[in-house]
Structure 1
């Protein structure tokens, strides 16, 4: 069974960064990653992955169009079983509280601590296996 992590960020270089950080995991097929550059595109992918083993959604907060907070509520409505971790450059207490109250599992600040993120993904893979 393939586990899917969906990364949502409007910055085009994010996909390359994540693929580089997790290249060994991706090569070893521990999980796959899908990327969306908008919340609308992410919702489409979440809908398409209804039967797939989507184990984690990582979403930027500040995006044009629909924000990460708006995506959070819609994603939780579609897939309440899938944890969402919000990512932001602004890790203030108010932003963190809003993310957690909205249903996010956690809030990571940029630049992303990939060791902490890898631990989060490892936990999801282990519990889903």
Structure 2
């Protein structure tokens, strides 16, 4: 089964550094990466993922159409098997509480610490060395 990381963020500048940080894993075919800029696009990517094991990384807290915290339970309902990591733009307590209430598996705060993000993904998938 192939693993797919799905980064959901309405900011286009998140894609280049994400691709750069995960390039070795993608090149080694450890997993695929996909990006969505809003909720409708993310839902379509989840359906298209098919049997691939999915790791949604919800980065956009305030996105057009639906926020990351609002999308989290919908993502969880569609794919209860995989971890969901949220990346919060704001470190305020209410945002953290919302992520916890919506059953996020982990919460990171921007700017993204890619070393920790990669470690968290690998740990949750049982692939950490």
What TM-score, normalized to structure 1? 0.90
Residues 14 and 6 of structure 1, relative CA distance in 2, 3 Å threshold: same
Q: Residue 87 of structure 1 aligns to a residue in which SS?
A: strand
Between the aligned partners of 2:101 and 2:125, the Cα distance in structure 1 is: 25
Residue 73 of structure 1: aligned partner: 73
Residue 57 of structure 1: aligned partner: 56
Unaligned runs of 5+ in 1: none
Residue 103 of structure 1: aligned partner: 103
What TM-score, normalized to structure 2? 0.90
Shift of 1:65: 1.4
Residue 114 of structure 1: aligned partner: 114
How many residue pairs match? The answer is 126
Where do 1:1-129 residues align within 5 Å? Answer: 1-54=1-54, 56-59=55-58, 60-126=60-126
Between the aligned partners of 1:3 and 1:43, the Cα distance in structure 2 is: 17
Query: Is contact 1:11–1:37 with CA below 8 Å preserved after alignment?
Result: yes
Q: Residue 12 of structure 2 aligns to a residue in which SS?
A: coil
Q: Structure 1: which 4+ aligned runs deviate by more than 2 Å? A: 124-127
Query: Is contact 1:62–1:88 with CA below 8 Å preserved after alignment?
Result: no
Unaligned runs of 5+ in 2: none
Aligned residues: CA RMSD: 1.3
